[in-house]
Structure 1
Amino acid sequence: MFKVGAGLVPAVALSGSPAYAGAAPAMTVTGTVPTQLAALDNVMKTYIKERDISCAQLAAVKNGKLVLARGYRYSSDTTIPAVQPTSPFRVASLSKSITAAAILRLAQDGKVSLGAKVADLLGLPATVDPRLKNVTLWRLMQHTGGWDREISGDQLMADRTIAAKLGVPLPIGKNDIAEYAGGRPLDFAPGTKMAYSNYGYMLLGLVVAKVSGQSYESYVKQKLLAPAGITRMRLGRSLKTQAAPGEVPYYSQYTTKTVLDDSGTVVPSQYGGFNMLNHDANGGWLASAVDLVRWARIFDAAGPVLNATSITRAFAKPEIGVSADGSWYGCGWYVRQVTGHLNTWHSGALPGTSSYMARLQQGFTYAAVFNRREESGTPDYDVLSSRMNTAWNGVTTWPATDLFPKYF
């Protein structure tokens, strides 16, 4: 999970803590958990209580069937509605598998080559660094394009810096971000290093729109989500007043100056501390945990969204960047070979949001989403996967009923 970003200032009074003064929080649950899967449910309840998370979801699939769908509210604030298994959450970087799949689908349909150069597709000038001409779609999807946020920062979180550099007002747009990044040299030669890049995925979203001739969101809904039977997912917005119907509230202990205008107003970091419209392709989708595990099924076998070649490409090893533990970043997924299976997973985090999804051996897939991220003083969020692994490995019999029709 990502840690607290620069420029965020602790200020609980403004950020909307889930704690409710003078009362102890209580757990309210919705949805379906068969008795055989009580251990998974208990992992979530313990995890939520330890981190004082007020809204969460868990969904699990076994051999293509939805076997668990749960919503959790842990709060004494009765103004927070009960979380349903289908309530939308910001899912942050779980959005990357969607964007990569959009590029793979365009290639599958003969609309673009994965070896195509992004500078040519988007008309990006390579005058500052000629190596930009070597950034291909493959390299953007696998984070080997040349941008390293540990060196030059995350362009998607540098709104005020970019506005000042370009002499433009807030809010800035994706074209402003591309102009700013294009005016700086790459951090490394494309294809020589793997470095996680939100900016690279922003560029992929622009490619989807340019090649398809329609908006990024429209293309994804038409070509990817609708054929997969997903109807609720949509792009999120920055402000609480712009929330989608049923969308959960988000919480953070941090505040910062808004990036949505030049007023300098201090706002909760999750509501105006970043511009969701710019994060669409790298982290902007809203989804429930049920939507996410339904989405993950498109990678199990060839179907109406991706054919076998595209699925193989989604998990292909990059030219560089295989870790010491044998894992690598494919196209929107981390990947590791286990006996007879490719395990794939991804986490996501933005101010007020944390998410995790994994496709594991023995036909088990799960997604968990939360309305807080790991922050200073918060227990480690990375323990979730190990606890869930222990729980599902201990299941001796699996439910036979498929809950997907119930939570369509």
Structure 2
Amino acid sequence: MLSRRRLLQASAAAVPALALGARPAQARSAEVLTTGVVPSSMAGFDQAMKTFITERDISCAQLAVAKNGKILLARGYGFYSRSGILARVQPTSLFRIASLSKNITGAAIARLAQDGKLSLGAKVTSLLGLSATADPRLANVTVWRLLQHTAGWDRSVTRDPLWDDHTIAASLGVPLPIDHADIMKYVTARRLDFDPGSKFAYSNYGYMLLGRIIEKVSGMSYESYVRQTLLAPVGITRMRLGRSLRAEAFSTEVPYASKYTNKSVVDQSGTVVPYPYGGFNMPNQDANGGWLASAVDMVKWGFVFDKAGTVLNSTSISRVFAKPETGVTAGGSWYGFGWNVRTNNVGGLNTWHNGGMPGTFSFLARVQNGVSYCAIFNRREEEGTPDFDSIDPILGRAIGTVKTWPTTDLTPRYF
């Protein structure tokens, strides 16, 4: 931790706004406060990030870049306040990563199948004891279809139940906060939006169900299974599930910024709260969007999919990236187990995913020639804010600025 005076001196007294709801700056020339390591040959990545976060008035951000299993760049941007003390964002600070959590859940399911504990063709009604009375088509929802978003729920048709706490609580006559069982009871009593297997439609609810399957089959909590079986074997120890309220934040977790508010979903008070802090229920998001991680954690996690190892064997990795029964886009991409996938120019696969919730935007990509990168921010695109998805092509272009890739592996420094 740094004193306020020293930190403000270091940042020339002109740093990104810390307040919730800060509006984007139209023109800022202030130097962004940074930590971590950027080799000179990779300065293009660093400059691209500084420009991106300045244009969007982002107060906390991270970037990590790797090549061929080595972390080469690890950077924290900005600072935050906790209990009156200002702290720099470190390369290891924790951020909510939202839907980047889905490839973690997908890998957990693949591992259970690898260990002979689960069939990917198993039906969700049998696994979780769900009734198909309201819609017999529910009996055709398999684990594969949950993983590849072809199970029958479409949030463009009916509201996403992971973000509809007040409606569900009122419908069931239960108090807030609701839990997974409440959400499942509410959704199971309603008809599907389309025939399972007939189309692709992104579904947070489908991944929430996968979390419940992991618990049922493993006999462990979702978080414990992932941390013990997937993360610990590859030396990732910081990652954990997030909590709803700012008072519950972990000591190295950044704050989240949004101009939007919502009625609290964590109690019955009806209080209007900052959207990132009680405006949605983090524990319910677990398997579809609940993890906390750093950018270096996520690029290291990506190494699991590069080759068979202690977590996934070659069969499991091929399943993770397999084409679904439907849903290949006109551009040739498809959805795997928590990854968007496309064949690249060198005969391999590019895989990527973004994540967003109030106060968070994240992006992780694994592209040709062994390059991967992850960027995370403590706000997302809101009205009047430039597009956040543009970080993908921005970092993609930064690859072309590297004439000589460094060889020093930073992984031991940050694990």
Q: Does 1:169 align with 2:175?
A: yes
Task: Tell me the alpha carbon deviations over residues 325-344 of structure 1, each in whole angstroms, 9 at most, x when there is no partner.
Answer: 00000110000011311000
CA distance in 2, matches of 1:257, 1:19: 25
Map 1:52-63 → 2, pairs under 5 A: 52-63=57-68
CA distance in 2, matches of 1:263, 1:240: 17
CA contact (8 A) 1:15 1:267 kept: no
1:46 to 48, 51, 56: 51
CA contact (8 A) 1:24 1:75 kept: no
Amino acid of the structure 2 residue aligned with 1:38: A
Map 1:105-124 → 2, pairs under 5 A: 105-124=111-130
Secondary structure in structure 1 of the residue aligned to 2:414: coil
Q: Does 1:328 align with 2:343?
A: no
Q: Does 1:342 align with 2:384?
A: no
> Aligned in 2, Cα 1:18/1:292: closer, same or farther, shift over 3 Å?
farther
Secondary structure in structure 1 of the residue aligned to 2:33: strand
CA distance in 1, matches of 2:24, 2:330: 41
1:394, CA displacement in angstroms? 2.5
Q: Does 1:382 align with 2:389?
A: yes
CA distance in 1, matches of 2:31, 2:403: 31
Secondary structure in structure 1 of the residue aligned to 2:63: strand
2:93 to 62, 87, 90: 87
Secondary structure in structure 1 of the residue aligned to 2:139: helix
* Alignment root-mean-square deviation, CA: 1.9
Gaps of 5+ in 2: 1-16
> Aligned in 2, Cα 1:229/1:75: closer, same or farther, shift over 3 Å?
closer
**Could you say which residue in structure 2 is the equivalent of 1:3?**
none
**Could you say which residue in structure 2 is the equivalent of 1:301?**
307
What stretches of structure 1 move > 2 A for 4+ residues in a row? 12-20, 23-26, 74-80
> Aligned in 2, Cα 1:237/1:37: closer, same or farther, shift over 3 Å?
same
CA distance in 1, matches of 2:210, 2:23: 35
CA distance in 2, matches of 1:83, 1:76: 10
1:387, CA displacement in angstroms? 1.1
1:15, CA displacement in angstroms? 3.9
Task: Tell me the alpha carbon deviations over residues 252-276 of structure 1, each in whole angstroms, 9 at most, x when there is no partner.
Answer: 0001100001110000000001000
CA distance in 2, matches of 1:26, 1:38: 15
Farther-moved stretch of structure 1 (209-218 vs 70-79): 70-79
Q: TM-score, normalised by structure 1?
A: 0.94
Q: Does 1:36 align with 2:35?
A: no
Gaps of 5+ in 1: 1-11
**Could you say which residue in structure 2 is the equivalent of 1:363?**
370
**Could you say which residue in structure 2 is the equivalent of 1:249?**
255
**Could you say which residue in structure 1 is the equivalent of 2:279?**
273
Secondary structure in structure 2 of the residue aligned to 1:226: helix
1:133 to 115, 132, 139: 139
CA distance in 2, matches of 1:336, 1:111: 29
CA distance in 1, matches of 2:32, 2:214: 42
CA distance in 2, matches of 1:80, 1:199: 38
Q: Does 1:401 align with 2:408?
A: yes
> Aligned in 2, Cα 1:19/1:327: closer, same or farther, shift over 3 Å?
closer
* Corresponding residue pairs, total: 395
Amino acid of the structure 2 residue aligned with 1:117: K
1:352 to 356, 359, 365: 359
CA contact (8 A) 2:351 2:366 kept: yes
Secondary structure in structure 2 of the residue aligned to 1:217: helix
> Aligned in 2, Cα 1:398/1:172: closer, same or farther, shift over 3 Å?
same
CA contact (8 A) 2:42 2:401 kept: no
CA distance in 2, matches of 1:144, 1:82: 42
**Could you say which residue in structure 2 is the equivalent of 1:147?**
153
Secondary structure in structure 2 of the residue aligned to 1:373: coil
CA contact (8 A) 2:106 2:337 kept: yes
Secondary structure in structure 1 of the residue aligned to 2:298: helix
1:120, CA displacement in angstroms? 0.5
Q: Does 1:318 align with 2:354?
A: no
1:27, CA displacement in angstroms? 1.6
**Could you say which residue in structure 2 is the equivalent of 1:391?**
398
Q: Does 1:157 align with 2:163?
A: yes
CA contact (8 A) 1:19 1:76 kept: no
CA distance in 1, matches of 2:30, 2:377: 16
CA contact (8 A) 2:20 2:256 kept: no
**Could you say which residue in structure 1 is the equivalent of 2:4?**
none
CA contact (8 A) 1:52 1:74 kept: no
CA distance in 2, matches of 1:76, 1:207: 39
CA distance in 2, matches of 1:74, 1:124: 46
**Could you say which residue in structure 1 is the equivalent of 2:7?**
none
1:34, CA displacement in angstroms? 0.2
Farther-moved stretch of structure 1 (393-402 vs 46-55): 393-402
> Aligned in 2, Cα 1:226/1:18: closer, same or farther, shift over 3 Å?
farther
Task: Tell me the alpha carbon deviations over residues 306-326 of structure 1, each in whole angstroms, 9 at most, x when there is no partner.
Answer: 000000000000000000100
**Identity, % of aligned positions:** 63
CA distance in 2, matches of 1:364, 1:18: 34
Amino acid of the structure 1 residue aligned with 2:272: V
